Chains A and B, each alone.
Chain A
């Protein structure tokens, strides 16, 4: 169906086609998408129901939930809008392409001299030579500036047609096709891809990934181990680099190793691991020192959770029991600490708090032995974002095509010129006119340039005649 066809007695299917080929629909859809997209930026997405009820109250929560506002970009109505836009682009492009295709791939481009004669803006000049002499010179000049040229005889002389950039009419279709590619790529990604995360403590190996927006876990075909994690800081205290050394294992054997930092992920079997966050873990091992009140002697001992330590001078036994992120001291948070149990030789066991940050804290207990954490190796876990997106190459192709397509549509055009030469006695009269589907101002310049160039051959011809 070309849009030029008469709009009477259309079948319902044709009418539907026409509706989707309309740019009015495009404008309505684009503005509707723009307006509705705002909602999801005003209402934070994908929070917990509790948070929403607190923020909006029960009634509005129900209503919003019904409309899918809390996850609006994947709600049925938003997806329908995008689907409509896609249908609109596809139908509209096909509808117009039939027409454009004929123009672009015409074997012999049609030139209609009457059309060029009608243009108001023309460059005109007179030449001393007769048309048949100019016929040897002009075509090559036109050919140099426009890719295609053709000479046709007219009643009183001849005309040279030139044209370039016919194919640039395809630019818009490239743009529209690229939009469709983006949507297809996104669809492929959401069907065949996944998005998840995993935390791996240093030295440990995992194969289960927690999926995002999905309660299920994912089992990988391989295992991934974090050998080491490091964070470095600037002098200001801002983080400078997060680095995880990762090893991929298959059936327990290392097959691939890579250090990843933010912006430089590891990829294995199409699955990518991105450095995303990190956190502290309780140290596996700490160096404790025990200071005897009686003798003032200090004894160093390595300790791990649940390992019994016998304190010299018969001061009893000690064992670390657990680690806490926020130990409490008289209602104050004193940060990360180990809680241990000291069992004196004669007496009941007492709990001892050993904050990592305050090594002298245990003095306040005023016991026979003061216990302190002298040293420990910090231990981290690395937080990895894990994703697989087989659609990403379709999307990237779309990106490239879109940029190329927009450039072609905006800044290149289909240009046509006509140089008409008519006999004027023994001399000639020349009229140059041209047209372009875009940037008409630029085309006017091009026409006057061409005309100047043609006129210049006069003076050089005169020079030759004199010699």
Chain B
């Protein structure tokens, strides 16, 4: 009976509940309906203006990259040697690059690959890391020790080096790069999830599930991972930001996507040679897009972390 109109109509007919028997609060103090943790986190997140702007920026970039080419038709496959390095003007709002491709169209293509690889790489990394961390934390003991030392060892290797070594050997496509980045960035989520699982596995609900006969897979998938999910989700946004940056590093050093695909890093790497020629339109729009997307992901990550903290505090 949430609608006040209905309540008024009914009140005349039946005796209100409250007059029949006073509601006695149960022993142990005040019990109130607590909205679910996720709702709390979401409302906390919605109050963060900066985070909302960041979400807006990401949505804008998704629209720009994936719907942009529908509106802004450009030739992005055939070299056009007569139209190279044109300054912004009619037909080419952001000019053309050294191959005669329209720069705005290239920006859209680069945005697609950045968002796709950022997304796929972080999903791959999160799935591997979550499973690895959950298993290590649940089994514990020597196995946990060995698994986490393995993570320590991998974390000590500068990730850019190893990713570069692997990336030189494979043709740069969206899938190879997503896999390469994902396969070497799952270490942080693994550590986070293991830490969460270590605190969760001694909690009563896990013991209860165990007593009821839940096997290890059921414990991991039904009880531990869902409860560690908040940490994982916060981490995913940072993971996206890091993957996009790593992809840009690879592209800048010349080991990014191969033609006809492109990424913002590739574009900046090509444009670097043209800085002295004064072709600013090949440098600043790309750089600005890159910084904006990474910045927005980081801001969303920060805000989500704060929001989830609130959820954990009030629970």
A and B from one assembly? no
Residues of A participating in the B interface, judged by any CB pair closer than 8 Å: none
Residues on B lying within 8 angstroms of A by beta carbon are none
